[in-house]
Structure 1
Amino acid sequence: MHLHRATATFAAELARIREEQGFTQTPLATRLNVHRSLISHIECEKKVPSKAIADALDQVFGLTATRHFGKLYEAIVYERGSFGWLEKWREIEIEAVWLQCWDPLLIPGFLQTYEYARAVIGYNPFFTPEEVEEHTRRRIGRRAMFDRESPPNVTCLIDECALHRPIGSPHILVDQLRFLLEWTERPRLTIQIVPMQAGNAAGTSAAFQLAKLPTGQEFASVDSLLGAECSTNPEMVAKVKIWYEAIRADALSRRDTIELLRAALTQWTNKLT
């Protein structure tokens, strides 16, 4: 199964257009001022092309008006940025002693049901149905961290808006809310809802996660349209912590969170009857 479809498309298009315009790999490499092996590695998907190479290919092939390779490169950035970071973060989750997360739009990934996760990932226009299923399984697999002998302590903040966004369908949302309620009873997991009436705008621009390893090393991961930036930079980690505490100050208690979840579940269940 091909997990980097955009890279494969770039490789195939490079080989196709190169041959159509009468270039072998060596003359093209000369025009680009790179070694022939780079062209070979890109076409064999052994190396991811850079933005500079994509722009240079558009120039050499006379495609600057349409930015053919420039757009293909952006697809690679989106695909790898959105989901490539997940592998790195999973490694962190496996070892973490504590985790903190916030999401202003969706139920956080590791708390998503299979159908909810598949609906979210399915909106990615670059994935085939097979790739959607593969990424969905990987996302659900993140819950394995709770099966460790010493699971991490996890605190999860969720905006109330996420409880009323019927991702996929109202039926999927009802199942998701029911699942979330069940997980409020999970040891070492604290789920807190930030109510809409709080008017907290501190974290509406992005979802983010914080983690700490047994070594004391701390990580911060901040989401964006093109993926997530994962860093150990102390300044970035400190800033994300400040944002997290500002949001948590308006979060409901565990008891009030459960009551709000039950109310949302009842509301959406009634809509289905």
Structure 2
Amino acid sequence: MPPRRAVTGRSQEPRQRFAEELRLLRSGRGDSLRQLGEVLGWDSSLFGKMESGQTLGSPEVVQALDQHYGTPGLLLTLWELAAGDPAQFKERYRRFMTLEAEATGIQQYSPAVVPGLLQTETYARRLLCLGGLAPGAYLDQQVDARMNRRGLLYGDSAPQFRAILDETVFRRSLLDREEWQEQLKHLNEVADQPNVTLQMLPFSAGLRELPNTDTALLRLPEGRTVAWVETGYDGQLVAENAGVERLQFSYDRLRDHALSPRGTAEFIQRLLEEVPWPSADSI
């Protein structure tokens, strides 16, 4: 195997260096692109484009490759240099993404918007635009990252995933009817996965726990649980037992008041059958 150059921010060709490392690692393992796609759960064409320098991929994909090749942090460092903005991924969120990829179980609560793992591409794009991202290459990169992240829910090693969504999530629709129908149908399709449970917390439950905090509880292979809590402006990884237990208690109380998975699927179907509202183009 050819010797590798040192990882450095002074490289004049960070994108080329990243693609080169991907090719070297796959060659060293003797994997084909098809085999790599089957093992990691992404389309093999994505890895081909990354190795040729056509795309950088998402941080979720790169972390999965780091884990596959046994190169913790190396590829993600190269990716950040190639992306040109290493500071955009704070250490705590990077740690959360790593733990999320390792989790054997994920419990999610979303009080206002469809969570990232359940979003369609259109929903993700509109939400990121509302968050301040202007149309362009960086927005496209973030949308791709969110879409690639959804691969966590599929495959033999997919975690058990339960999502409780407040009724607000279902009532705060996209203005375009077809786009919103696509998102609702996607929720029902994902909920058909054997490892996925989807529940709706109805307005009739009244004011409940975690009213403005997106929460994810991650059960890790060694048996411990950590949590990620997020508002519209900040996110925090919670690892201490007392904090995680409080969040778990709140989540369990929410689940007690939520519709059953079957009742939730029926609720979504009723939304799909409601009289259509005008599309965004006609307003």
Provide the TM-score with structure 1 as the length reference: 0.65
1:189 equivalent in structure 2? 196
Q: Which is higher, the Rg of structure 1 or of structure 2?
A: 1
**Matching of residue 270 in structure 1 with residue 276 in structure 2:** yes
Percent pairwise identity: 24
1:60 equivalent in structure 2? none
Q: Is the 8 A contact 2:133 2:139 kept in 1?
A: no
Residues 121-144 of structure 1: per-residue CA shift (max 9 Å, x gap): 111225553222111111121221
Q: 2:148 aligns with which of 137, 141, 151?
A: 141
**Matching of residue 160 in structure 1 with residue 167 in structure 2:** yes
Q: What amino acid sits opposite 1:104 in the alignment?
A: P
Query: 1:94-105 residue pairs with structure 2 within 5 A?
Result: 94-105=101-112
Q: Is the 8 A contact 2:153 2:161 kept in 1?
A: no
Cα separation, partners in 2 of 1:47 and 1:211, compared to 1, 3 Å: closer
Rounded to whole Å, the distance in 1 between the matches of 2:179 and 2:229 is: 27
Q: Is the 8 A contact 2:105 2:160 kept in 1?
A: yes
Q: Is the 8 A contact 1:217 1:232 kept in 2?
A: no
The alignment of Structure 1 onto Structure 2 pairs a total of residues equal to: 196
**Matching of residue 90 in structure 1 with residue 97 in structure 2:** yes
SS at match of 2:266: helix
Rounded to whole Å, the distance in 2 between the matches of 1:121 and 1:86 is: 17
Rounded to whole Å, the distance in 1 between the matches of 2:133 and 2:264 is: 36
Q: Which runs of 5+ in 1 are unaligned?
A: 1-44, 49-78
Q: What amino acid sits opposite 1:253 in the alignment?
A: S
Deviation at 1:230, TM superposition (A): 1.0
2:64 equivalent in structure 1? none
Query: 1:38-77 residue pairs with structure 2 within 5 A?
Result: none
Rounded to whole Å, the distance in 1 between the matches of 2:121 and 2:249 is: 32
Q: Is the 8 A contact 1:120 1:167 kept in 2?
A: no
1:114 equivalent in structure 2? 121
Q: What amino acid sits opposite 1:122 in the alignment?
A: C
1:251 equivalent in structure 2? 258
**Matching of residue 171 in structure 1 with residue 191 in structure 2:** no
2:158 equivalent in structure 1? 151
Q: Is the 8 A contact 1:200 1:247 kept in 2?
A: no
Query: 1:216-255 residue pairs with structure 2 within 5 A?
Result: 216-255=223-262
1:58 equivalent in structure 2? none
Q: Is the 8 A contact 2:200 2:264 kept in 1?
A: yes
**Which stretches of structure 1, 4 residues or more, deviate above 4 A after TM superposition?**
45-48
Rounded to whole Å, the distance in 1 between the matches of 2:86 and 2:214 is: 30
